[in-house]
């Protein structure tokens, strides 16, 4: 689609994604680099430690103040994470809260030793009594690797006992025993709340089952913690910033026209879900092109959508391409004609593309051919299995290094790649990924990806740049699932519930977190 046609249709191209989200997603080395930059800028390392500990103490009190009357059990390791724990213990103890600190090793750093001496007059250095209903995990920090035994392993086991007895566990920076880069864990703390300092670590997002709710706390890193080369965590403020506005004088032709190509015989439901999601996302017009045998069920399932047969000629594809502002290919498409249709549509429809499901399966092991149709214009939306087939590897390999895999696919195809998972990673050539960590296991069901594609296609049709459209769509999709689960037990949430919750999410009405919190994520329900 030409720029002139887009402008004349009233769908203004939003080529810029806006400012990046303010919280970086880092490896252990990147987190250490952020600290080093801040120290190089003149902030003493002990000041960062005190800022981290005091912010954590305040957040613990805000969230779990009702538990403090039973006392607090703090576990302090020998490194700087233990120093953070001593700051938390001293702050709570100075406020009159009964704090017992279990030391696991003598402090190895001068800062941690100094904070221990400062806190000792306000706490009892002893094992927990068992009455405490709040436990603070400060055993290991981001530089540690998984542990299997020894004194640290024993302390992790004791924290697990306290949690099993009803205590809430708050982990400092990340749950002890969790690899900050990969999320690998042999013996690790299972936290109800993770208080991450300055940035959020990759491992925390990869193991939400161990991390619980997550709050990223401002400890004074400033710009040192926001390197543009690092992945960034998508939040409500960023989504609100990038969403295309709907003008007061808008009409159906200016709110975006979306074509969905899918719906093989017997698989019309996937295209129905994508079309319904698109309409619930503000699309002005939706047209579904499907197998002729599926057109009846499609018309009945989405009466507001136009329908037509798959484009069997270049002329038919060009006609639909002239009408559309964006195209989604794949929901219920089937593998039989998928590669043929993708090739024809990519040639005849010059607008932005979403290639999903069978539109990706048709290119298993053929990255070069996929790059020919996707480069510079498409969003690819694989799950781990589809990504593995594209790369000739295994789903386990993809899940063990999702950041690297998403970037490899983006670089190889020249497209934006939305790698579905926990978290979802949105990679693009030559820019840092965006990371979406919203949603629940309610989305782990057939058809969920079709809903996501309908949302994403609408944002592309309304002119949003591909990486921003993909990341915003994934955030909205995840929050809709969370809202659907508020009234229905997780096991009972259906995609119908998610679709019904979707319209409310477009208000993007989540309040900004209260300082010193930079970003927060709810716990994922089990």
Local structure of residue 250 (DSSP, 8 states)? -
The pairing of strands 25-26 and 72-76 is unpaired
Which tokens hold the place of 216? Answer: 């990223």
How does pLDDT run across 252-295, given as a tens digit for each residue? 999 999 999 999 999 999 999 999 999 999 999 999 999 999 99
- Asked if 262 contacts 288 with a C-beta cutoff of 8 angstroms, the reply is yes
Local structure of residue 66 (DSSP, 8 states)? G
Which tokens hold the place of 21? Answer: 């989200």
Element (H, E) at 419: strand 416-419
- Asked if 429 contacts 413 with a C-beta cutoff of 8 angstroms, the reply is no
Helix (H, G, I), strand (E, B) or coil at 363: coil
Q: Of 432, 323, 321, 433, which Cα lies nearest the Cα of 377?
A: 321
Local structure of residue 24 (DSSP, 8 states)? B
- Asked if 74 contacts 60 with a C-beta cutoff of 8 angstroms, the reply is no
Read off φ and ψ for residue 293, nearest 5 degrees: -70, -15
Can you give the pLDDT of all 526 residues of the chain as single tens digits?
A: 444 344 434 454 444 445 799 999 999 999 999 999 999 999 999 999 999 999 999 999 999 999 999 999 999 999 999 999 999 999 999 999 999 999 999 999 999 999 999 999 999 999 999 999 999 999 999 988 778 789 999 999 999 999 999 999 999 999 999 999 999 999 999 999 999 999 999 999 999 999 999 999 999 999 999 999 999 999 999 999 999 999 999 999 999 999 999 999 999 999 999 999 999 999 999 999 999 999 999 999 999 999 999 999 999 999 998 999 999 999 999 999 999 999 999 999 888 999 999 999 999 999 999 999 999 999 999 999 999 999 999 999 999 999 999 999 999 999 999 999 999 999 999 999 999 999 999 999 999 999 999 999 999 999 999 999 999 999 999 999 999 999 889 999 999 999 999 999 999 999 999 999 999 999 998 7
How far is it, in rounded angstroms, from Cα 35 to Cα 41? 10
Local structure of residue 187 (DSSP, 8 states)? B
Which tokens hold the place of 407? Answer: 């970037």
- Could you give the domains of the chain? 25-230 (3.40.50.10260), 252-509 (3.40.1190.20)
């Amino acid at each position: 689609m030409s720029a002139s046609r887009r402008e004349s249709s009233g769908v203004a191209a939003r080529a810029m994604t806006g400012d990046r989200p303010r919280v970086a997603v880092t490896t252990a080395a990147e987190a250490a680099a952020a600290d080093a930059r801040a120290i190089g800028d003149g902030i003493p390392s002990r000041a960062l430690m005190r800022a981290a500990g005091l912010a954590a103490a305040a957040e613990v009190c805000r969230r779990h103040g009702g538990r403090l009357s039973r006392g607090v059990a703090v576990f302090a390791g020998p490194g700087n994470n233990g120093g953070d724990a001593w700051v938390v213990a001293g702050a709570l103890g100075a406020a009159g809260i009964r704090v017992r600190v279990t030391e696991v090793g003598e402090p190895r750093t001068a800062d941690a030793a100094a904070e221990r001496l400062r806190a000792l007059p306000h706490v009892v250095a002893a094992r927990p009594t068992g009455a405490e209903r709040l436990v603070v995990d400060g055993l290991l920090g981001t530089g540690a690797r998984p542990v299997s035994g020894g004194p640290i392993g024993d302390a992790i086991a004791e924290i697990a006992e306290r949690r099993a007895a009803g205590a809430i566990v708050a982990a400092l920076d990340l749950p002890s025993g969790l690899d900050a880069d990969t999320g690998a864990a042999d013996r690790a703390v299972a936290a109800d709340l993770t208080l991450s300092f300055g940035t959020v670590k990759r491992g925390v997002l990869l193991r939400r089952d161990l991390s619980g709710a997550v709050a990223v706390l401002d400890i004074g890193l400033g710009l040192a913690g926001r390197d543009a080369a690092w992945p960034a965590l998508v939040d409500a403020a960023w989504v609100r910033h990038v969403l295309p506005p709907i003008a007061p004088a808008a009409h159906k032709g200016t709110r975006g026209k979306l074509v969905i190509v899918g719906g093989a015989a017997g698989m019309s439901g996937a295209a129905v879900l994508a079309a319904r999601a698109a309409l619930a996302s503000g699309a002005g017009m939706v047209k579904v092109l499907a197998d002729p045998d599926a057109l009846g069920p499609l018309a009945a399932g989405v009466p507001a959508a136009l329908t037509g047969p798959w484009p069997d000629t270049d002329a038919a594809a060009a006609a639909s391409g002239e009408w559309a502002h964006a195209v989604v290919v794949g929901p219920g498409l089937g593998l039989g004609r998928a590669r043929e249709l993708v090739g024809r549509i990519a040639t005849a429809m010059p607008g932005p593309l979403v290639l999903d499901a069978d539109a990706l399966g048709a290119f298993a092991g053929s990255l070069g051919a996929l790059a020919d149709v996707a480069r510079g214009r498409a969003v690819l939306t694989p799950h781990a299995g589809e990504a593995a087939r594209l790369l000739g590897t295994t789903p386990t390999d993809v899940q063990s290094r999702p950041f690297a895999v998403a970037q490899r696919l983006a670089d190889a195809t020249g497209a934006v790649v939305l790698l579905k998972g926990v978290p979802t990673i949105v990679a693009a050539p030559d820019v840092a990924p965006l990371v979406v960590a919203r949603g629940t296991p309610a989305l782990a069901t057939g058809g969920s990806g079709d809903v996501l594609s309908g949302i994403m296609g609408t944002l592309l049709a309304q002119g949003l740049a591909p990486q921003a459209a993909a990341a915003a769509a994934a955030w909205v999709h995840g929050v809709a699932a969370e809202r659907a689960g508020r009234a229905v037990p997780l096991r009972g949430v259906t995609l119908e519930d998610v679709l019904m919750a979707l319209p409310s999410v477009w208000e993007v009405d989540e309040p900004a977190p209260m300082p010193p919190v930079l970003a927060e994520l709810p716990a994922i329900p089990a």
